[in-house]
Structure 1
């Protein structure tokens, strides 16, 4: 009897482990079996007329498909489109097309995507896309809305990040809105090149190379996004007139080149009220000119802000707390720093206006020392290192200075996680508790 109970117990454990694996790896499965039983979707599209709404019943549908007329395809979440062909799963060529509530599983390679758009005014909403290449790809596609989608890379075995595609990949497109999407495990979560008047708002981007990657994008807005565990939270290159505001970039620190926010050749832009926490470099600025950085919170980064060949930028009312190195600069001039809070600075407020009457000066000595020998990090803020830094500053070129630092920090923005943050951890703990319960019950049965 004991042997039978033990066998039953092992069977239960095996089933539970397989369940755990299936839950934690939703991309895995048996595509061949699903494909053979799938309902062809292209004939349904061909039979529809412009303006029709196709409502898919729960089930599995076969791609690839091409939409050449203005229609809508909807599902309550139970319809899955699978594609193993060398083409994109869904190609949209008609203006005004709308997709909502579909699950898309794309196993194509090369420059393909779960959804490929070559049209205007397209709406893509509440889609769940699992892809082995790009998630959503826009080419010469403007005035589209991409909202509330869940996009992630999947594969049966580990894949180098350079072999993956982008979650949302936009090229030569204008006036698009990318809103409240959740994107993970891609090459770049959101990649946008050569566009204008783009809105990227409320997205969660994680576990990718660059969470948000802008190149040659002008007159646009990046607001209320959160990026965690990427190599770089947001990489913004060769742009002008951008608003980067109210974002949270945290824990980009796993790579030697990690930054919360990278600004390269950024001009006449506004970087305001962002929380940049726990990154290797909080804000990295190179060849950036004429920008305003105001009311940002730079917390617990190794380097708070790093400026190289940066000119004529204004830094006002930013808060620097618990950074190993608060700020560094090289080959930079005419930057104005005023009314920032530096937690390592001991100021003097004679006039009692909340501002120090003596300036805070950036000291590059410590960074230069540890660049030659990282072991010197052990001497951070030691009296000897402070003494040498003061001597270095006195004998060299004057570095940038905050002319009137804040004596106390402004109220810091919230640094809490989003409501769904940690959900996977809760799921794992729940599964462990379930296994423990089964183990206890089974042992009780064996004793009986």
Structure 2
């Protein structure tokens, strides 16, 4: 009987040990790693809630998984400098990573899933988050947290993030010197939400099917450059909202299929330049806009309404409009008469989408012609006195082709000279 009991016990241990090895105590490993050291984690599941409060590198493998519970923060980093996290998967938590009072933090190659909010930064400086995936939970935006939220922080970089189904992809409040580049944010409330922020850059990001691509409020000295902002076309959809901002440069972006591409409200000393507005219901909306703002050298193509205003003064100049029917007698690339963006039917259609079925009906064509006659005497609102005859894209393509032809021509001439000299030498 005793031998039988010992045999069963041995078999139980042999079966149980491998299963136990899959669940490891990460906190003990962190505590055992000296300050400034590197902790290499093997594939496996590390369950619990963990804390880092010293300089350390934590490097995962292909399938290194940190797993928590829906009621706790999975990983806390506090009161430390020089922390690195790489190649980790974080699953199931109220907050994936909570950071407070940390300088020099680098996170890369992370994947956060099944959690209310992804990363929270408080009083952090010199932080870089790169090549990270954050997948939110199902449900309404009010029942979700943000992908990355940063408060009271300085010198932040977020590059190559893929964020989906959260409340706000990147929520930035009271932050100075932040650069957001090459991020993709989809199916959220706001792609980027700036609040009380200074010296920010959002460059070459992609926003798709959010309620609003970029929401900027009470923010100064911000550059929004070369972003792709598409299909923010819900009932309250906006590509970009600029509310009470100062010194905001919106340059070289592509806005396509948004309900309203840009809504500028109480904006001051700001510029919208070299953007492409294509197939939006409304391209640019100006509300209580400052006279020092400018809308220059943009392309307006296939929009229902190109420009709307409540009467605010804004410099509008050198834009291309696909519905401009003026001529250019002196062939300087600028139309000989002004473009006035007052479109009665377009304004109604934006408010009542069902009106789109009457586009190009005889009554609408007549209304548009009446608008043109009325607009001829308009001199104050939404007037571009020097509209371009060609879009920026149309101008750039011939220039590229001409450069190519010049290079080929020079090569042919040089080859001919070389052959001539060779024959002359013989």
Which of 105, 119, 131 aligns to 1:148? It is 131
Change (3 A) 1:246 1:395: closer
Instruction: Pick from 254, 258, 272 the counterpart of residue 279 of structure 1.
Output: 258
2:222 alignment partner in structure 1? 242
Give the structure 2 partner of residue 138 of structure 1.
121
1:304 Cα offset (Å): 1.0
Partners of 1:35 and 1:292 in 2: how far apart?
A: 61
Tell me the secondary structure at the aligned position of residue 30 of structure 2: helix
Question: Which residue in the other structure is 2:32 paired with?
Answer: 47
Asked if structure 2 preserves the Cα contact closer than 8 Å seen for 1:64 and 1:85, the reply is: no
Query: Given the alignment of the two structures, is residue 297 of structure 1 paired with residue 282 of structure 2, yes or no?
Result: no
1:371 Cα shift? Answer: 6.3
Are the counterparts in 1 of residues 205 and 226 from structure 2 also a CA contact under 8 Å?
yes
Unaligned runs of 5+ in 2: 1-18, 397-426
Structure 1 residue 79 corresponds to structure 2 residue 64:
yes
Counterpart CA distance in 1 for 2:353 and 2:50 is 55
Q: Give distance in 2, aligned partners of 1:122 and 1:133.
A: 22
Higher RCO (CA 8 Å, separation ≥ 6 residues): 1
Work out whether residues 247 and 268 of structure 2, in 8 Å CA contact, stay in contact via their aligned partners in 1.
yes
Equivalent residues in 2 for 1:22-421, closer than 5 Å: 38-84=23-69, 86-93=71-78, 94-108=80-94, 113-118=95-100, 119-154=102-137, 158-253=138-233, 255-311=234-290, 312-333=292-313, 335-370=314-349, 373-380=352-359, 382-390=364-372, 393=375, 398-411=380-393
Counterparts of 1:301 and 1:413 in 2: how far apart (Å)? 22
Change (3 A) 1:412 1:207: farther
Measured against aligned partners, the alpha-carbon deviations of 1:134-163 in whole angstroms (never above 9, x if no partner) come to: 111101111100111011113xxx421111
Instruction: Answer whether contact 2:81 2:103 (CA < 8 A) is retained.
Output: yes
Kindly tell me: are residues 393 and 134 of structure 1, through their superposed partners in 2, closer, same or farther at Cα, counting changes over 3 Å? same
- Give the deviation of 1:36 after TM superposition: 11
Deviation at 1:372, TM superposition (A): 6.5
Deviates more, 1:261-270 or 1:192-201: 261-270
8 Å Cα contact 1:91-1:115 kept in structure 2: yes
TM-score, normalised by the number of residues in structure 1: 0.79
| Between structures 1 and 2, the one with greater strand share | 2
Output the CA distance in 2 between the equivalents of 1:38 and 1:412.
61
Partner Cα separation in structure 1 for residue 311 and residue 29 of structure 2 = 62
Residues 299-329 of structure 1, C-alpha deviations (whole Å, 9 max, x = no match): 1111111111112211111001111111111
Aligned residue for 2:126, secondary structure, equals coil
CA-based RMSD of the aligned residues comes to 2.2
Number of equivalenced pairs: 372
Structure 1 residue runs without a partner (length 5+): 1-33, 415-448
CA displacement at 1:377 relative to structure 2: 3.3
CA distance in 2, matches of 1:86, 1:36: 25
The structure with the larger Rg is 2
Provide the secondary structure at the position in 1 that maps to 2:104. coil
